[in-house]
Amino acid sequence: MVEKRCEDPVIRDLWHPVAAVPDVVDRGPIRTQLLGETLTVQSKEGGDICVTEEAVQGTGASVDGVSLTPTLPTLQKFGFVWTSLGSPPDSLFDIPEFQESDRWYENSGSFRVHTSAGRAVENFLDLAHFPFVHEGYLGERPYTEVKDYSVATKEGEIWANGCEFYQPIAAVSATEGQVTQYSYRLAHPFCPLLYKTSPLNRERFDVIGIFVQPMTEERACAHQFLCLLDESNDDATIKRFQAVIFGQDKPILENQVPKRLPLEPRAETPIRADKTSIQYRRWLYDLGISYGVVRGSSPEQISVT
Amino acid sequence: MIKLYDYELSVNCYKVRLLLNFLLVPHKLHSIDFFPGWEHKSEWFREINPLGHIPVIDDEGFLLRDSNAILIYLAAKYDQSCRWYPVHEPSRLGEVSQWMMFSEGTTNTASAARLHDSLGYEFDIEACREGAHKLFRVLDEHLWFQEQNGSSWLCSGDDPTLADLVIFPDVILSEEGGISRVGYPAIRRWADRFRHLPDFSLMAGVLPT
Ligand SMILES: [Fe+2]
């Protein structure tokens, strides 16, 4: 299948995650896709990492037999390599907790899913599915009620505050069920972050999130990260927990129709889409994003499952 | 107690977990950071399995690798009924072995497609999918004839065997690799029967019934 070239200037200008730094350094070069283009991510002498577009490799001029393949803008942050197909802003958003020395930060896997980046983000924002999809982990029937909470846009980001939910095992470090308090932060159209009460210190929050890479309009890669106060659990146990959560979400996500995220605000049906996701879709709409979404579709094309 | 070196999303590990749970054998899981940590390729793990593969079991110091080998060992040792691996019935034992060989094919096609689509493994995805469909057609036809002959499972007899157990994970997760089961009604009915067996266990990605 030939992907049509992405003409959406808004999404082309964003920074997008394309690989975890250790994957590139230890097992590179890595081939991946971004907005339908095939990219190669590889490390260079001196620790730099460069990203090139396959379509233009070898087409550049060469000097003394060395081809001059134009490289894409690149930065490394939060353990990932980020790039852009357009003119990205000078910097990427920040996660202040990332700097706190008593935290444990790790990328916990880059998982691909056959749906749009927007669908993957929306699933991450959706509290209501926890007791059904992650029963025994992040939720438990009959505790299915989502309490009311507030959603607001501030400084170009979306924040949802005051979410509460009963969870049997909120994280690996939990020893008993707890009412977990959440805040959601959308720091970037495809980077949702979740702040939740730490089972170890109820005054502080664990931060987890996904940086979603739109590979094509209907395929995405969710790069997971964890920024936790957990000191007792080993890597493999925590990563297993994350893999289980992802594995449970995957078939649900892949069965959603259409794969692209419907944005038309008026056509929104409130059955599944909660307040945060309504706000999220509206935000993408207002930003003018057209790639991987359905804009201005007729209402019957919208099915929220 | 048996220790299983395990990764949740691995089909070969899932096969071993399925049997341990069917047989109610107490065990503990040692999670390997297979992805993204590649711990199965680490130096310490290669001392356990020089091939750098999971699953591996450690049964009180007895180490065994390769899911088919592990399953045969566990069934022979812990299944008093000899239901899963009929060691005393030569023809059925032959059938079970035949389908266990067949499962190498489904794992290398259907489950390889899933690794490509989920974890970004560099495989020839079209070849994987095509290969899986070829094998699924053979499987579907065989299961249809089995049903006509009054049998619910891959091998003759009333009970499921390791043959069913090793092929089930590749089949039930095939859609994660873009391999639809719409065209294989006998496979779908068989997978459903398997999911309803007592002490059947789930893995993430296999939906509860
Ligand atoms: Fe989920």
CA of A198 from ligand 1 middle (Å) equals: 19
Strands in A79-175 per DSSP E? 80-83, 104-113, 150-154, 157-167
Assess whether B154 and B64 both reside in one domain. Answer: no
Q: Is A222's Cβ below 8 Å from some Cβ in B?
A: no
ipTM reported for the complex surpasses 0.95: no
Assess whether B50 and B106 both reside in one domain. Answer: no
DSSP letter assigned to residue A257: S
Asked if residue B130 is part of any domain, the answer here is yes
Query: For residue B169, is the peptide bond before it cis, meaning its omega torsion is within 30 degrees of 0?
Result: no
> Between chains, do A20 and B8 touch, taking CB under 8 Å as contact?
no
Q: Which of B33, B174, B195 to mutate to test the interface with A (most CBs of A within 10 A)?
A: B33
Average pLDDT of the segment spanning B41-51: 92
CA distance A43 to chain B (A): 18
Asked if residue B85 is part of any domain, the answer here is no
SS3 (DSSP) at A77: strand
**Top-confidence residue, B108 or A133:** B108
Assess whether B96 and B55 both reside in one domain. Answer: no
Asked if residue B84 is part of any domain, the answer here is no
Asked if residue B209 is part of any domain, the answer here is no
Q: Which of B111, B118, B121 to mutate to test the interface with A (most CBs of A within 10 A)?
A: B118
pLDDT category of residue A278 using cuts at 50, 70 and 90: confident
Residue after which a domain boundary falls, among B78, B109, B141: B78
Q: What is the per-residue pLDDT for B146?
A: 97
Assess whether B190 and B124 both reside in one domain. Answer: yes
CA distance A175 to chain B (A): 19
Assess whether B57 and B99 both reside in one domain. Answer: no
What CATH number is given to the structural domain containing B178?
Answer: 1.20.1050.10
Mean pLDDT of chain A: 82
**Top-confidence residue, B23 or A141:** B23
Q: Residue B99's domain spans which residues? A: 90-202
Count of domains for chain B: 2
- CB-CB: which of B30, B175, B205 is closest to A247? B205
Q: Is A116's Cβ below 8 Å from some Cβ in B?
A: no
Asked if residue B171 is part of any domain, the answer here is yes
Give all domains of chain A, ordered by start, each with its CATH number. Answer: 9-83 (2.102.10.10), 96-254 (3.90.380.10)
Assess whether B120 and B160 both reside in one domain. Answer: yes
Please give the Cα distance from A218 to A259 (Å, whole number).
6
Assess whether B51 and B139 both reside in one domain. Answer: no
Rounded (to 5) percent helix, strand, coil in chain B: 55, 10, 35
Q: How confident is the model over A122-136, as pLDDT tens digits?
A: 998 887 777 777 776
* Percent of chain B with pLDDT strictly greater than 90: 88
pLDDT category of residue B207 using cuts at 50, 70 and 90: confident
Assess whether B30 and B112 both reside in one domain. Answer: no
Q: Is B35's Cβ below 8 Å from some Cβ in A?
A: yes
| pLDDT over threshold 80, residue A58 | no
- CB-CB: which of A114, A243, A244 is closest to B117? A114
What angle in degrees, to the nearest 10, is found between the helix axes of B67-78 and B90-106? Answer: 150
Q: Which of B4, B29, B31 to mutate to test the interface with A (most CBs of A within 10 A)?
A: B31
pTM: 0.85
Asked if residue B136 is part of any domain, the answer here is yes
Q: How confident is the model over A194-253, as pLDDT tens digits?
A: 888 887 787 888 898 999 999 999 999 999 998 888 666 666 777 788 888 888 899 989
**Residue A212: which of A295, A272, A292 has the closest Cα?**
A292
What CATH number is given to the structural domain containing B73?
Answer: 3.40.30.10
| pLDDT over threshold 60, residue A151 | yes
Q: What is the per-residue pLDDT for B99?
A: 98
Residue after which a domain boundary falls, among B78, B101, B117: B78
**Top-confidence residue, A160 or B112:** B112
Q: Is A109's Cβ below 8 Å from some Cβ in B?
A: yes
**Residue B23: which of B166, B193, B190, B162 has the closest Cα?**
B162
Assess whether B41 and B106 both reside in one domain. Answer: no
Asked if residue B208 is part of any domain, the answer here is no
> Between chains, do B36 and A23 touch, taking CB under 8 Å as contact?
yes
Assess whether B54 and B109 both reside in one domain. Answer: no
